[in-house]
Amino acid sequence: MDNLQVVDGIEKSEPDYVEIYHRMFSKNLRELLQKVKNTGTFNQDLCKKTIFTGVRFIRYAKSDTSNYDYLKDKLQLIGYLQELMKKITPREFINMFPITKSYDGDKWEEKDYFFTMNRAKEIGMDTLIGENILEFLYDYDNWDITCFAVSSMTVISRIRRIEGEKSLAEEFFGSVGLDTYTLHSGQKGKQELINNRTGETQEVQKPRPRYLKPVQ
């Protein structure tokens, strides 16, 4: 027992999912376009592979950036993937992105398995999704698709802000009479909230740790 030693474990590095799915997506897209060019036909299997790897790439690629060209390119890619999604059926979509096995959506007033299936059946399980794609995506209960939809809205909002317009959230809250705020941090760590409608500022008061007491 005296010879026992504590050995540090080997820390495993996180896979670079952005690079992995970007490489897979690029390969599938090239093959899809080459197939169309060579045969004049649209290969459904390659279409689905391109959609799946593209959605995964969008999920892991960053959206929290102010690089205008990057955001525009990402939005263009999202739009292209949505166009491909129009060419498949809800049944094919479900096989790629299984609906989350959550069944209590009525209780919490949120989407669940039954809500998503009802939406798919309204379109027709074996009918092309077509122009229903945007509503279908927002009604769909699957984490990959949720991340894809959120990324789409985030990118649009950031582009609008860079172009001097209101973000989607600011526009919505303004339409219902609610103010929005922007948090600014100074060089010394001082933070202020600025009312985006009135321009009024309010200093952010950070809570004092319980172990600190004012000197009497």
**Two tokens, residue 168:** 């989607």
Of residues 117 and 181, the one with the higher pLDDT is: 117
Q: Would you state the pLDDT for residue 194?
A: 73
**What average pLDDT does the chain have?**
86
Categorize the per-residue pLDDT at 30 as very low, low, confident or very high, splitting at 50, 70 and 90: very high
C-alpha dihedral, 119 to 120 to 122 to 127, nearest 10°: 150
In degrees, rounded to 5, the angle at the alpha carbon of residue 151 between the alpha carbons of residues 67 and 176 is: 100
Least confident segment among 48-52, 118-122, 124-128, 166-170: 166-170
pLDDT of residue 137: 97
pLDDT band at 183 (very low <50, low <70, confident <90, very high): low
Q: Give me the mean pLDDT over the 189-208 stretch.
A: 72
Please report which helix (H) or strand (E) contains residue 21, including its range. helix 17-39
Q: What are the residue ranges spanned by the domains of the chain?
A: 17-173, 179-216
What does the pLDDT look like over 40-81, one tens digit per residue?
999 999 999 999 999 999 999 988 788 999 999 999 999 999
Give the pLDDT confidence score for residue 166 in this predicted structure: 75
pLDDT of amino acid 95: 98
Separation CA 97–CA 60 (nearest Å): 16
3-state SS class at 121: helix
Joined together, the tokens standing for residue 88 give 């498949």
pLDDT classification of 169: cutoffs 50, 70, 90:
low
pLDDT (tens digit, 9 = 90+) per residue, 73-111?
999 999 999 999 999 999 999 999 999 999 998 888 889
- State residue 46's pLDDT score: 97
- pLDDT tens across 1-26, in order? 556 666 665 667 788 999 999 999 99
pLDDT band at 173 (very low <50, low <70, confident <90, very high): low
Q: Residue 199: left (phi > 0), alpha (psi -120 to 50), or beta? A: left
pTM of this structure: 0.77
| Residue spans of alpha helices (H) in 163-209 | 168-175
DSSP bridge pairs for 193: 183, 202
